[in-house]
Amino acid sequence: MPLAPPITDIDQLKSHPALEQLVHWNSSIVQAAKFDRDELTIWLSKGAIREAGSILRDSADCPFNYLADLTCVDWYPSEPRFEVVYHLLSIPRKERVRLKVRLDGSSPSIESVTSVWPAANHYEREVFDLFGVRFTGHPNLKRILMPDDWEGHPLRKDYPVEGYR
Amino acid sequence: MAHFPTAIAEPGQDHTLVLNMGPQHPSTHGVLRLVLEIDGETVIGLKPEIGYLHTGIEKTCEAKFYQQVVPLTDRIDYLCPMTNNLTYCLAVEKLLGLEIPPKAQWLRVLMNELTRINSHLVWLGTHAMDLGAMTVFLYCFREREDVLRLFEMISGQRMMTSYFRIGGVALEPPLGFFDKVKKFADRFPGNVDEYEGLLTGNPIFMMRTKGVAHLSAEDAIAMGACGPTLRGSGVDIDLRRDAPYTGYENFKFNVPVRTEGDVFARYLCRVQELRESIGMVQQALAGMPEGPIKADAPKVVLPDREKMKTQMEALIYHFKIITEGFTVPEGEVYQAVESPRGEMGYYIVSDGTAKPYRVHMRGPSYANLQALAKMCEGQLIADVVAAIGSIDVVLGDIDR
């Protein structure tokens, strides 16, 4: 089964409910979109994630009411270095979409989505803990998996994996 | 972590007490620490403290070849190793665009459902024991032993099976294996009746579970609860039915949903799932197709030992896969699977090399744990134990 080439043309992908809603709301926040291996990815501009989240959650047609996962990818040494990844699921329509926001490497921070999906609480703490991305507006942003006095963020690509600490 | 006190409320302020529960408490099912704020016997606030079992598996994955990650995935959710294997393998197969032969798919469904039975039996036994029903624990572990023997027969391992591999399954089932599974599957519904006879109508059990730790459907969705915790609150979702993978579309089963949203509802959902799973095991045995158990992809799937000893080409592929792995085309996938605890998702990013660039595991227990605080507010301390049991928490899955 050869892989189909990814579709990156926003106009072609507009039939997907998530992209349709976002473009309809404010097309300037959608930076790019990609449909690859049956999964849709939408890159959003940094400031818009919380509002875009509530637009998607409250949509009457296809509400993305369930935050399935929230994580981050470190693209060190290229810039923008971090990509925060949101996996959303629409429970009534069983649709999935992946949102991404790119962040710069120097003091990365983004608005918290805990007010949209309370489930984001622990996930954002995990990303803060392991990647050092700050979430503004988070109710309790502190380390969750590593000890409180830990230095550094282990899942960053420049974190040493060998030798004594 | 333990020597850093957690500030939840100042002691002496008002009339509440901050009580530490765990991480060595037997009812926390592992190393879960809960900081409870209590007023008399009533829980006002609950904060989970996790990370005691954090081993950095996500980081380790980045240093391994794709096929070397499979045994690591067993160790995440150690009660359902095969579901972890399956999720990971499906994600990599999706990245590769690999087609899996039907027999491997049916074997995967068969083993996956046996894994669900194994996991639910541990849950049922420990959950009942937390609430004072010791007998059920012994009965459940008796049947679980049979399931583990089946695992040992097919994979050589009781718990860390690593049976599913990228492109298929590891080994052809041994002779007589299906007969043994059939024998177990014929007997097991009677065993479930036995457990239900001890619990479902039991007045003590009902008093400990009915109306306890209530979670509404809205809260369950908002807090990201999944699996039987979500279905116990009346949300009808099961990924095996709604987004079928590895041949689940060929199976007929019901998705038990309860609307009460309490511990008893979650209990009923899971016990009913035991019956549905054994039905699927029977279907898998009845319709098991013939054919290869591995995909025809010599660059990805290890060759048979026999071929390796007789054919030069197979030996070369074997050497290449072992020493330098196989490259996976650039891209990313999120593969979600219905594990015994809920939506288990693997997010894998490939940069075109032989090692994954990033592997993220979305553990169902991690999501369910967030709903625990909501459930326990206003409940008695003793009900916290019932609530922990009802979300079936596995700490390996949370801390990774």
Chain B residue at shortest CA distance from A148: B1
Residue in the structure block whose two tokens are 């990924």 = B239
Proportion of chain A above pLDDT 70, given as a percent: 97
d(Cα B242, Cα B235) in Å, to the nearest integer? 13
A23: part of which helix (H) or strand (E)? helix A17-26
The answer to whether the CB of B58 falls within 8 A of the CB of B378 is no
Chain B, nearest residue to A39 by Cα: B333
Look at residue A31 and give its three-state secondary structure. Answer: strand
DSSP states along A96-139: EEEEEEEE-SSS-EEE--TTT-TTHHHHHHHHHHHH--EEET-T
| Stated pTM of the model | 0.91
pLDDT at B2: 44
Chain A CB contacts of B366 below 8 Å: 122
All residues of chain A having their beta carbon less than 8 Å from the beta carbon of residue B243 are 94
pLDDT per residue over B228-272, tens digit each? Answer: 999 999 888 889 888 888 889 889 999 999 998 889 999 999 999
CB count in 10 Å sphere of residue A150: 14
Residue B242 is nearest to which of A1, A87, A94, comparing CB atoms? A94
Give pLDDT tens digits for B75-84: 888 888 899 9
Check if the beta carbon of residue A42 is closer than 8 Å to that of residue A97: yes
Note the pLDDT of residue A47. 85
pLDDT of residue B109: 92
Using the beta-carbon criterion (under 8 Å), do B223 and A73 form an inter-chain contact? Answer: no
Residue B15 reports pLDDT greater than 50: yes
A67 and B224 within 8 Å at the Cβ level: the answer is: yes
3-state secondary structure of A70: strand
Q: Tell me: the pLDDT tens digits for A100-154?
A: 999 988 888 899 999 999 999 999 999 999 998 999 988 888 888 888 888 888 8
Interface test with B, best of A71, A113, A114 (most B CBs within 10 A): A71
- For range A45-59, the mean pLDDT: 87
3-state secondary structure chain B: CCCCCCCCCCCCCCCCEEEEECCCCHHHCCCCEEEEEEECCEEEEEEEECCCCCCCHHHHHCCCCHHHHHHHHHCCCCCCHHHHHHHHHHHHHHHHCCCCCHHHHHHHHHHHHHHHHHHHHHHHHHHHHHCCCHHHHHHHHHHHHHHHHHHHHHHCCCCCCCCEECCEECCCCCCCHHHHHHHHHHHHHHHHHHHHHHHCCCHHHHHHHCCCCCCCHHHHHHCCCCCHHHHCCCCCCCHHHHCCCCCHHHCCCCCCCCCCCCHHHHHHHHHHHHHHHHHHHHHHHHCCCCCCCECCCCCCCCCCHHHHHHCHHHHHHHHHHHHHCCCCCCEEEEEEEEECCEEEEEEEEECCCCCCCEEEEECHHHHHHHHHHHHHCCCEHHHHHHHHHHHCCCHHHHHC
**Segment A31-42, tens digit of pLDDT:** 888 888 888 899
Nearest to A71 among B50, B343, B347 (CB): B347
CA distances A156 to A128, B308, B348, Å, are 11, 40, 16
The proportion of chain B whose per-residue pLDDT surpasses 70, expressed as a percent, equals 96
Q: Do B224 and A117 touch (CB under 8 A)?
A: yes
> Could you tell me the pLDDT band of residue B279, with boundaries at 50, 70 and 90?
very high
Average the pLDDT over B267-296 and give the result. 90
CA distance B329 to chain A (A): 9
Å from A117 to nearest chain B CA?
6
Q: Which residues pair with B39 in a beta bridge?
A: B42
Considering only alpha carbons, which residue of chain B is nearest residue A5?
B331
Kindly indicate the confidence band of residue A20, based on its pLDDT and cuts at 50, 70 and 90. confident
Domain boundaries, chain B: 57-399
pLDDT at residue B11, rounded to an integer: 58
Mean pLDDT over the full length of chain A: 86
Average pLDDT over residues B317-340: 90
Is the predicted pLDDT of residue B119 greater than 70, yes or no?
A: yes
Residue B12 pLDDT greater than 70, yes or no = no
- Mean pLDDT for all residues in chain B: 88
Kindly state the percentage of chain B with pLDDT values over 90: 35
Per-window interface: B 347-376 vs A, CB < 8 A: 347, 349, 357-358, 360, 362, 366-367, 369-370
pLDDT in tens, B78-117: 888 899 999 999 999 999 988 899 999 999 999 999 999 9
Q: What is the largest CA-CA distance in chain A?
A: 54
Please check the confidence at residue B29 and state whether its pLDDT lies above 90: no
**Which residue did the predictor score with more confidence, B49 or A60?**
B49
Q: Can you tell me the distance from the alpha carbon of B191 to that of B78, in angstroms, rounded to the nearest whole number?
A: 24
Note the residue count of chain A: 165
Question: Nearest Cα to A122, choosing from B334, B374, B348?
Answer: B374
Q: Which domains does chain A possess?
A: 10-104 (3.30.460.80)
Within 10 angstroms of residue A19's Cβ, the number of other Cβ atoms is: 18
Rounded CA-CA distance B298/B281 in Å is 30
Q: Sorting pLDDT into bands at 50, 70 and 90, what band is B9? A: low
pLDDT of residue B1: 40
Condensed to tens digits (0 to 9), the pLDDT of residues A70-93 reads 999 999 888 888 999 999 999 888
Q: For residue B360, what pLDDT is reported?
A: 93
Spatial distance between the Cα atoms of B82 and B115, rounded to a whole number of angstroms:
6
What per-residue confidence (pLDDT) applies to A59? 82
pLDDT of residue B7: 59
CATH topology of domain B57-399: Cytochrome-c3 Hydrogenase; chain B (1.10.645)
Residue B313: count of CB within 10 angstroms of its CB: 11
Give strand pairing partners of B331.
B350
**CA quadruple B58, B60, B66, B69: dihedral sign:** negative
Dig out the tokens for A91 from the structure. 């429970």
Question: What residues in B contact A155, CB-CB < 8 Å?
Answer: 58-59
Longest distance between any two alpha carbons in chain B, whole Å? 79
| Token pair 């070397």: residue | B68
* pLDDT tops 70 at residue B13: no
Neighbours of A33 (CB within 10 A): 25
Q: Identify any residues that bridge with B17 across adjacent strands, giving them in sequence order.
A: B38
**DSSP per-residue letters across A73-99:** EE-TTSSS-EEEEEEEEETTTTEEEEE
For residue B23, is the peptide bond before it cis, meaning its omega torsion is within 30 degrees of 0? Answer: yes
